[in-house]
Amino acid sequence: MNKEQKFETQAVRTQIEPTHAKEHSTPMYLTSSFIYDDAEEMRASFAGENDRHIYSRFSNPNYQELIDKVCLMEGAEAGYVFATGMSAVFSSFAALSNSGDHIISCRSIFGSTHTVFTKILPKWNIQTTYVEVDDPASWEKAVQPNSKLFYLETPTNPGVDLVDLEAASTFCRKHDLLMIVDNCFATPYLQQPIKFGADLVIHSATKFIDGQGRVMGGITVGKKELIEEIYTFSRSTGPALSPFNAWVLSKSLETLAVRMDRHCDNALKLAEFLSNHPEVSWVKYPGLKSHPQYGIAQKQMNAGGAVVAFGVQGGLEKGRSFLNNLKMCSLTANLGDSRTIATHPSSTTHAKLSEEERQKVGITPELIRISVGLEHIDDIISDIQQALEQD
């Protein structure tokens, strides 16, 4: 690994050492376990006295290559990979929290993370208090003597609101809280939360890291001592990524920068188009000057990302009509694909929230989330325009 190289070069050139075959591209290590030359080597491996791989439930060369790449990109000391983004989220919480601990979280989070906070962690007497993304005063009011960590997404899903990472870091240092950031929307190419003070960064690699809607995966990177705790928890509980998916995700990272450049360029043009359309009541995109936290975006992001949120005139029924009228864009709950995706969060990704909870985080019935793909921007706009303008 070369920490002095540029992002794009790190993504392409970071890989494990070739085998005796001297392969140019890392092979897939589709094996459940690894063999040893003798009993002493096996003993030392299980004792952690060497760096040998043992069992693909927790260790595999393909995992390590993916970890090495993301750690370089995020400026992290260590990392661990998981089967999905949500297994990364849950395992990180479970490894670092104890019964009686208290979590502070920004209110605007992914629906499944909300379920973890409200339905699963309370079983182990771990409680969560929600705060507003743009109101540090509410963060202060939420602090309790047993508060352990501050969790946030920025940009948020699906409303693309932003959290000031510098302010969050100052808050966490003041109250001795772990700062954990879901960086899925921004990717390491557009934002590196560790530079602003985050202790851990989480990605659903299923999204932009894969970038083509093929495989699932998750990763947590950050401080070595915290990753060691996550490793210990996950080694025994088994939220393992498959070697094949790790290989795909590592290869996908080679094109992350060029893909995100195109995503961001398309998303900005779409957001500008929607801002001037009479059938659209509002648009929110970090790259627009009209975004309420545009200044924060300029400070901590290299570009606005690939996700645009907007509201259609006519509310829920018009929103449904819009989705039904789309001809090219995909209707699916995923995002971060090469193909443009339209989603209605109220009825899909955030359906498990109550209406009151959705209103509190700005997930209104007319909200449409567009994950802008890599198609030609004229074709993206044409499809969305015709869907908006049909009766």
Mean pLDDT over the full length of the chain: 94
Residue 109 has pLDDT above 80, yes or no: yes
Rounded distance between C-alpha atoms, residue 208 and residue 253, angstroms? 9
This prediction's pTM: 0.94
Confidence class of residue 333 from pLDDT cuts 50, 70 and 90? Answer: confident
190 contacts: CB under 8 Å, gap ≥ 6: 260, 264, 301, 302, 303, 305
> CB–CB of 168/49 below 8 Å?
no
> CB–CB of 319/281 below 8 Å?
no
- The per-residue pLDDT for 230 is 98
Q: How is residue 82 written in tokens? A: 């998981």
Residue 249 has pLDDT above 70, yes or no: yes
Name the CA radius of gyration of the chain, rounded.
21
Beta 102-106 vs 78-82: how paired, if at all? unpaired
> CB–CB of 326/342 below 8 Å?
yes
- The per-residue pLDDT for 352 is 66
Range of weakest confidence among 11-20, 122-131, 203-212, 270-279:
11-20
- The per-residue pLDDT for 356 is 73
- The per-residue pLDDT for 17 is 82
Q: DSSP 3-state assignment of 330?
A: strand
Alpha helix (H) residue ranges in 106-176: 111-115, 136-142, 165-175
Q: What is the mean pLDDT of residues 40-59?
A: 93
- The per-residue pLDDT for 1 is 59
Q: What is the mean pLDDT of residues 140-169?
A: 97
- The per-residue pLDDT for 171 is 98
Q: What type of residue sits at position 243?
A: P
Rounded distance between C-alpha atoms, residue 78 and residue 97, angstroms? 19
Rounded distance between C-alpha atoms, residue 180 and residue 153, angstroms? 9
Q: What is the mean pLDDT of residues 24-49?
A: 94
For the stretch 166-214, pLDDT in tens is 999 999 999 999 999 999 999 999 999 999 999 999 999 999 999 999 9
- Report the sign of the C-alpha dihedral through residues 270, 272, 273, 275, in that order: positive
Q: What type of residue sits at position 155?
A: P
- The per-residue pLDDT for 353 is 67
Q: What is the mean pLDDT of residues 206-224?
A: 98
Confidence class of residue 158 from pLDDT cuts 50, 70 and 90? Answer: confident
How open is the CA angle 79-167-193, to the nearest 5 degrees? 25
